[in-house]
Amino acid sequence: MHRFFAADPRQGPGRARAARAPASSAALGTIVSENLDARRSAVEQAEAIIDTQVGQFMHWIKVRETVPLIRQLREHAEETRRQELDRALKALARGEDPAAVLESLSQGLTNKLLHAPTQALKKPK
């Protein structure tokens, strides 16, 4: 029979006593099997955590890739707004009807802002 030493908390720190190994190989096999099951369970939990974190990271990367596109879209919209506003102010300075100028301004903005996305949607994939 194999012996190993285990600390006995009742004897204080540093004191060890002889302890007996499991009486049979079947008992040892049961302990090993339980430990393997616990480790497999821990691996499954770790893989689930990794899958979740990888998914979040990939989403973050995809969002970061769209930032330049969003910036370009906003810059284009701002340029269009300035052009249409300038056109409307000139029309008002010429004495055109304010209601007609506003109508033209809103139509111009709508048409110019929706032109590129509409064309992109019409393109075959």
From first to last of its 125 residues, the chain has per-residue pLDDT tens of: 444 444 555 555 555 555 555 568 888 888 989 999 999 999 999 999 999 999 999 999 988 888 998 999 999 999 999 999 999 999 999 999 999 999 999 999 999 999 988 998 888 87
pLDDT value, residue 2: 47
What is the number of other CB atoms lying within 10 angstroms of the CB of residue 57? 10
Which tokens sit at 59? 């989403």
Contact between 4 and 16 under an 8 Å Cβ cutoff? The reply is no
Distances (CA, A) of 87 to 80, 83, 91, 102: 11, 6, 6, 11
Instruction: Compute the distance between CA of residue 25 and CA of residue 7 in angstroms, rounded to an integer.
Output: 23
pLDDT value, residue 51: 94
Instruction: Compute the distance between CA of residue 36 and CA of residue 45 in angstroms, rounded to an integer.
Output: 14
pLDDT value, residue 45: 95
Domain limits, the chain: 24-122
pLDDT value, residue 77: 94
